[in-house]
Structure 1
Amino acid sequence: MQKDDWDCLPESMQQIAEVIGLDGAERLVRAVGGARFKFGKGRHNTARMKLLRQAVGKAGADKLAAVFGGDELYIPRCTVQLRKVRNRRFRAAFMALTDGGKTSKAMALTELCPQFGLSHRTADKILAEREEVAVQGALFD
């Protein structure tokens, strides 16, 4: 995630991101998003701590346990935010492949769609949205 995504995050995720960073918060959402999560008090052999360590690493799990130990938080799914992140990463990868004529659009889509879990149609929509935003932005400059 990028700093631009910060304001779109629910408050609980902003608090978590302050502790373990945006990338760690994204990994936590992908692991347990949509569920209530009770943060342990740092006991390392519990199933909960093992799950947390798998999601955010030992250092991240220790930081979360230190700050939220004993608390239960709802970890939102952040579907809209994660989609924005995926689309931004897809656009960047597409531009890196196609800028300067390195790769054709068709070949770039063939390579990137499976990598990002997108259909060609969805990829075309993502790329078209970007172009519309750029054109629309130019109207008001």
Structure 2
Amino acid sequence: MKLDDVTELLPESIQEIAHLIGYPAALALVTTFGGTTLAVAMAVTDKGVANFQYLAEAIGQREAEILTRHYGGDVLYIPRCYTALQELRDRELCRRFDELNAEHSANWTVQQLALHYKLADRTVWRILKRPSRLAVPEQPALF
């Protein structure tokens, strides 16, 4: 998954964080801490060092240092980024459908994808039929 493919669907706070530490680390941050409030420790006290280490394990040492320099002492809400992550999942599902469907029936492929993504087969069909959230709408003809 590449979070930078769906930048327009990300909250501004995560776009700012991604600009600082990169999209892969921002994805790790959202995956680990999404939906929670994160106290960005200064790593001065024992508790601060432990919190910093936990952050570093999730996103990387260098990235944790950058976040600490920029937000140290602050409390950040890390959004879940549900819409962006769902769009990434749906794109991956469609890509895998195209690959598998080249050698198998559509029904078999949908069943396999439903099992893999833990979705109902009807949900997989719905995903396959809907346009991307970032698709450019067609312009109506003038004549």
1:43 CA drift (Å):
5.4
Unaligned runs of 5+ in 1: none
Matches within 5 A, 1:19-58: 19-42=20-43, 46-58=49-61
What do residues 39-97 of structure 1 show as CA deviations (whole Å, max 9, x unaligned)? 12245963422331232133322232232222211111111111111111111121122
Higher helix share: 1
Does 120-129 or 30-39 show the bigger shift?
30-39
Scaled by the length of structure 1, the TM-score of the pair is: 0.78
Contact residue 3 and residue 84 of structure 2 kept, 8 A: no
Using structure 2 for the length normalisation, give the TM-score: 0.77
2:86 aligned residue: 83
> Equivalent pairs: percent with the same residue?
32
Match of 1:13 in 2: 14
Judging changes above 3 Å, is the alpha-carbon distance between structure 1 residues 44 and 118 closer, same or farther for their aligned structure 2 residues? farther
Structure 2 gap ranges (5+):
none
Q: Using CA pairs below 8 Å that are at least 6 residues apart, which structure has the higher relative contact order? A: 2
RMSD: 2.8
Deviations 1:83-112 (A, max 9, x none): 1111111111211222xx322222322332
Question: 2:96: which partner in 1?
Answer: 93
Asked whether the 8 Å contact 2:100–2:109 carries over to 1, the reply is: yes
